[in-house]
Chain A
Amino acid sequence: MRALRLSATVAFTILGLLVVTFLIGRVVPVDPVLAVVGDRASQSTYDRAFVELGLDRPLYVQFGLYVEKAITGDFGESVLTKKPILDDLIYVFPATLELATVGIIIGTLFGIPVGVWAAVRQGKLVDQVVRILGLVGYSAPIFWLGLLGLLVFYAKWGLVAGPGRIDISYEYAFTRVTGLYLVDTAMQGQWGAFRNVVSHIALPGALLGYYSMAYIARMTRSFMLNELAQEYVVTARVKGVAEWRIIWVHALRNAAVPLVTVIALSYAGLLEGSVLTETVFAWPGLGQYLTNSLQNADMNAVLGGTLLIGIIFVGLNLLSDFLYTLLDPRVRRRS
């Protein structure tokens, strides 16, 4: 019953998403026929393409066709790459997925302890330092930090590799399976290539990690302050529970419930492809793909990408809802 309701919600959300992308495709002043035939085609060629694309049919029929194709994963062809959109997305998305995952892992691993620490030492020096670091992370333009990072760690000190996902010399040292280079190289035991990938992803990953850490730490701090002021914390103290256990077991377990949403949404934000980061680091990901497509009025690619981002959002929301029920017994009963 619950699964049924859930899948109905998901289906409905995605249908809504399809309506939006479809309408955008019809509303924008990019002529889909011209995109196919080019602007020097004769009128008769234009007319034939117009009919072949089904643009003479009523809007709801067009939408039906659109949905039908979308379900089978057919979003048309990219004008730019001349390949099906789905293939393009499958090619670029792993790059973004890999970078975003490294970023969110760093952000969570550091953000939570730092936020807890700041909450426990509220108003003390640690709290102030965390506040300033967070403020910088949140307000400094990421492209500026990225360029600065490249200048210092790559150009000056040579600690990390430069832009791109991997050096050309390693590019063919392994076969592409998942498209996640860290996973592919590790699974095939290509440790040289693996180290090279790590060295490439270290700087942009750390940057996105810092960026999400700033937010996660801030939210952790405020959730923890809220929990530490609750009466059950006093109960735990009365029982003689050690302070570390009160903080990390009693309070954090409660703060984790809203934190799940914060982390899931940060992750979704990173998965959209951070255009600026991907541009600075020449990272061939979703953000860069979408920007290129937009600049070339490649509507099929833009809409396909938009749909993908939408589905990621729905999926991550679903996941965080699921984690909610795992973490909070009060939600479990209601559902």
Chain B
Amino acid sequence: MSPLLSVENLRIAFPSRQGPVEVVRGVSFELGRERLGIVGESGSGKSQTGRAILGLTPVSGKATADLLEFDGIDLRDATPAKWRSLRGARMSMVMQDPKFSLNPVMTIGKQLMEAVKLHGGKSEARDKSLAMLEAVQIRDPERVMAAYPHELSGGMGQRAMIAMMLVTEPDLLIADEPTSALDVTVQIEVLRILDRLVSERGMGLIFISHDLELVSTFCDRVLVMYAGRVVEELDAAKMSEAQHPYTRGLIGCLPKINGDVRPLPVLARDAAWLE
């Protein structure tokens, strides 16, 4: 079976006064109906990689690739109309902070139903939305439908966001730091919901995070990115076998519950990793 998504030599550059700066420099991977984690520090290009797959590279930037194929569709020269039919319907993205990623002047219900209606389903938009809100374990979906984003807590907002992105039953979901803006206690809950829905529906998932431990427990496979490149690809279960010094450094930085590590380990970066 051919993979759901193939990315080969993805490059994203932004202009600057010193000439174009490449923030993603030749990323390649394949994704089936599995859960792939992408970890890396701020500026490693992990979010830009995710957005490029959805064709959402900022207008000032330029994304190029030797291959960018989703279910046999070449995304590199997709027209705006093609993108509109793919986004939402077949691929979608959960973003970081529901405080900013939900439209503040529209009710949750309106935003949810908009997603359904756009991809054919005008009559059942309301029922579908309610069912989806229940699926993300919102106890009082009627009330949440009528609520504005600022009336929900972070956890509730993010569940509404997940509902909005899954209600059209896409094949691929990109989750860009979906729990980073949430309280630790809520994080696990939201992750469980996401995990269950993704495995129930057999979707492909790209989980972008800076949290190595979280990614390794939640995903099947992990890409470690550094300065716009994939420095290592690992089975999530075999994190301890990491070869690359950067990955090893990251693992070494994880706090240990028993045993005080002093001095705290510092991640030493090597200019050679850039090559």
Report A's interface with B, CB cutoff 8 A. 230-232, 234-243, 250, 253-254, 257, 327-330, 333
Contacts and interface: CB of A to CB of B under 8 A. Distances in A.
B95 A234 contact: yes
Contacts of B83: 240
B106 A253 contact: yes
A240 B88 contact: yes
Interface in B67-101: 80, 83-89, 92-93, 95-97, 100-101
Q: Name the residue among A235, A241, A328, A330 with the largest chain B CB count within 10 angstroms.
A: A235
Q: Is the interface of A mostly helix, strand, loop or mixed?
A: helix
Given A329-B150, A330-B150, A239 B115 contact: yes
Interface in B145-185: 148, 150-151, 161, 164-165
B150 A235 contact: no
Contact of A239 (B88, B100, B105): B88
B102 interface: yes
Given A230-B100, A240-B118, 8 more contacts: A231-B101, A232-B103, A239-B92, A239-B114, A240-B115, A240-B119, A253-B105, A329-B105
B100 A238 contact: no
B56 interface: yes
18 contacts: A231-B97, A231-B100, A232-B103, A234-B51, A235-B101, A235-B103, A238-B87, A238-B88, A238-B95, A239-B114, A239-B115, A240-B83, A240-B84, A240-B119, A242-B84, A253-B106, A254-B103, A329-B151
Contacts of B101: 231-232, 234-235
Given A243-B80, A329-B150, A254 B88 contact: no
A238 B80 contact: no
A-B pairs, top 9 by smallest CB distance, nearest first, are: A240-B88, A231-B100, A240-B87, A329-B148, A232-B103, A239-B88, A231-B101, A239-B115, A238-B93
Contacts of B104: 232, 254, 328-330
Nearest to A329: B148
Contacts of B106: 250, 253
B54 interface: yes
A234 B56 contact: yes
Nearest to B150: A330
Q: Name the residue among B96, B118, B151 with the largest chain A CB count within 10 angstroms.
A: B118
B159 to A, nearest CB: 15
A257 B97 CA distance: 22
Contacts of A243: 80
A328 B105 contact: yes
B166 to A, nearest CB: 12
Given A241-B114, A242-B84, A330-B150, A236 B93 contact: no
Contacts of A253: 103, 105-106
Interface in B211-260: none
A71 to B, nearest CB: 40
A327 B106 CA distance: 10
A241 B83 CA distance: 10
B56 A238 contact: yes
A243 B103 CA distance: 15
A327 to B, nearest CB: 7
Contacts of B89: 240
B87 to A, nearest CB: 4
Interface string B16-56: 00000000000000000000000000000000000100101
Contacts of B80: 243
B151 A239 contact: no
Nearest to A237: B56
Contacts of B86: 240
B87 A237 contact: yes
Nearest to A330: B150
Contacts of A241: 84, 88, 114, 118
Nearest to B103: A232
A174 B251 CA distance: 88
A330 B85 contact: no
A235 B102 contact: yes
A120 to B, nearest CB: 11
A237 B88 CA distance: 8
A223 to B, nearest CB: 13
A232 B96 CA distance: 11
A235 B84 contact: no
B99 to A, nearest CB: 9
A240 B116 CA distance: 10
B115 to A, nearest CB: 5
